[in-house]
């Protein structure tokens, strides 16, 4: 259950990750118009891909340690639509170069590389032949067949990208909108832009995403949807690169292409391109996480309804605040397993300084936030947050029960939390 499980809705390329809390967890996916493609990265090199329909009730179990799916709603499916990989266990995929190096403490020799290329080609040929047999015998539906045929094709290209001529890619391969939920196809599109336009590298890991963005924008062979995916991808990469100060410039290009669609709004919200406006927000206590995604105190408390929320207002420059963190961490350990969440809100003026202090103090990213609008927020004014450290307590119903709670160093702090837990 620790492996990645994610899905994309029909005609969408955004991945939504599923994070089960236990092996008996149930998750509900809302907003499905027709179908979703779900991917379970079960182990290195083993991606189990499924297509589910709106209204499906899916049980994901593990037989002999491998994922196994069943539908409770009894929708008619062909024999191998759900547990398709069962018939492919005998077709062994050769170890990728990185895995071989890890296992053998050395790279493959020239002769071993030639053997690897042959084994890899044989692997894809065997899978394609098996897919054809299952499809023609009506044991596999056309959508599942199409997904896996495409996965094989584009995975093979991706693995040989260094020697592949991306300038010869047929236009039909660049307009497969129905395959955008499939990771290997999306990676192929990225490799196409980088390979065809010889996008340069800025360091050992990153390409020049500005060049990649402009190349994708100018490419006439891409469909609207595949171009939208690539622009969205490269724009996010720009936002997280050394060129992030150019994000507003490239965002304008993206917005002009998108014509103000929801993706433009997502970028705007996620990277706070309207931060000056947000600083003036009065009705909410607005927060940023470490990735500069926006949330609010209200949303955080609502998300943890059923749990006591202990809030710690602090700043990087506040010595007493930081001196209290070891006591907070100790208290968290003592209350581990109870329905209580510790929330750390920084009043720093500088986002980067806050991030460095957060890292140094080993605060969890999931519970540590930056306060955007301390001067404008009515709530902040109402509780008279004039000095820090300052602590607050919300009960399990999300009600503020103490706007000036005890600090974690005080004995009565734990007693007050336990009292709320026992209500």
Query: Cis before residue 389, ω within 30 degrees of 0?
Result: yes
Opening angle at CA 166, ends 164 and 172, nearest 5: 120
Which domains are assigned to the chain?
1-76 (no CATH), 286-421 (3.40.30.10)
CA of residue 182 relative to chain centroid, distance: 15
Instruction: Identify any residues that bridge with 393 across adjacent strands, giving them in sequence order.
Output: 310, 402
Q: What is the rounded distance in angstroms from the CA atom of residue 69 to the CA atom of residue 59?
A: 6
Task: Identify the CA nearest to 328 among candidates 385, 397, 420, 406.
Answer: 406
Question: Which residues are CB-neighbours of 400 under 8 A, at least 6 positions away?
Answer: 392, 393, 394
Distance of CA 404 to the CA centre of its chain: 36
d(CA 35, CA 77): 14
Q: What are φ and ψ of residue 411, in 5° steps?
A: -60, -40
- Whole-structure pTM value: 0.69
Per-residue pLDDT of the chain (423 residues; tens, 9 = 90+): 346 789 998 878 988 888 776 778 888 888 888 999 999 887 766 778 899 999 999 998 887 777 889 999 989 999 889 887 777 777 888 888 888 898 899 999 999 999 999 999 999 999 999 999 999 999 999 999 999 999 999 999 998 898 899 999 999 999 999 999 999 999 999 999 999 999 999 988 899 999 999 999 999 999 999 999 999 999 999 988 888 779 889 999 999 999 878 899 888 876 767 777 888 889 999 999 988 888 999 999 999 999 999 999 999 999 999 999 999 999 999 999 999 999 999 998 778 788 888 988 989 888 999 999 888 899 999 999 999 999 999 999 999 999 999 999 998 999 999 999 998
As a residue count, the chain comes to 423
Within 13 Å and on the Cβ side, how many CA atoms surround 10?
Answer: 10
């Amino acid at each position: 259950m620790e492996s990645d499980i994610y899905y994309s809705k029909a005609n969408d390329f955004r991945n939504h990750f599923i994070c089960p809390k236990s092996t008996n967890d149930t998750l509900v996916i809302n907003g499905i118009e027709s179908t979703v493609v779900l991917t379970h990265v079960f182990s290195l090199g083993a991606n189990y891909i499924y297509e589910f329909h709106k209204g499906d009730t899916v049980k994901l179990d593990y037989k002999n340690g491998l994922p196994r799916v069943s539908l409770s709603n009894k929708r008619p499916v062909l024999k191998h639509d759900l547990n398709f990989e069962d018939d492919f266990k005998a077709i062994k995929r050769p170890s990728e170069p990185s895995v071989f190096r890890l296992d053998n403490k050395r790279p493959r020799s020239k002769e071993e590389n030639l053997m690897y290329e042959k084994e890899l080609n044989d692997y894809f040929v065997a899978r394609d032949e098996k897919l054809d047999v299952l499809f023609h015998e009506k044991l596999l539906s056309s959508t599942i067949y199409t997904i896996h045929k495409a996965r094989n094709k584009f995975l093979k290209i991706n693995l040989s990208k260094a020697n592949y001529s991306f300038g010869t890619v047929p236009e039909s391969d660049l307009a497969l909108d129905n395959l955008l939920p499939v990771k290997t196809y999306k990676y192929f599109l990225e490799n196409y832009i980088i390979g065809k336009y010889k996008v340069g590298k800025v360091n050992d890991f990153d390409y020049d995403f500005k060049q990649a963005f402009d190349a994708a924008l100018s490419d006439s062979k891409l469909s609207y949807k595949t171009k939208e995916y690539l622009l969205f991808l490269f724009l996010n990469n720009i936002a997280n690169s050394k060129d992030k100060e150019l994000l507003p410039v490239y965002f304008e290009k993206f917005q002009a292409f998108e014509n103000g669609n929801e993706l433009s709004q997502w970028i705007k919200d996620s990277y706070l391109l309207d931060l000056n406006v947000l600083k003036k927000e009065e009705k909410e206590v607005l927060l940023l996480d470490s990735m500069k995604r926006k949330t609010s105190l209200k949303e955080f408390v609502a998300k943890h309804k059923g749990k006591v929320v202990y809030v710690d207002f602090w700043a990087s420059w506040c010595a007493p605040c930081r001196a209290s963190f070891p006591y907070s961490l100790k208290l968290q350990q003592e209350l581990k397993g109870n329905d209580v969440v510790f929330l750390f809100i920084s009043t720093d003026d500088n986002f980067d300084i806050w991030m460095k202090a957060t890292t140094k103090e080993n605060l969890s990213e999931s519970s540590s936030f930056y306060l955007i609008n301390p001067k404008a927020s009515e709530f902040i004014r109402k509780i008279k947050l004039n000095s820090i450290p300052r602590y607050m307590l919300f009960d399990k119903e999300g009600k503020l029960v103490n706007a000036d709670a005890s600090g974690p160093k005080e004995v009565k702090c734990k007693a007050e939390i336990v009292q709320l837990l026992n209500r």
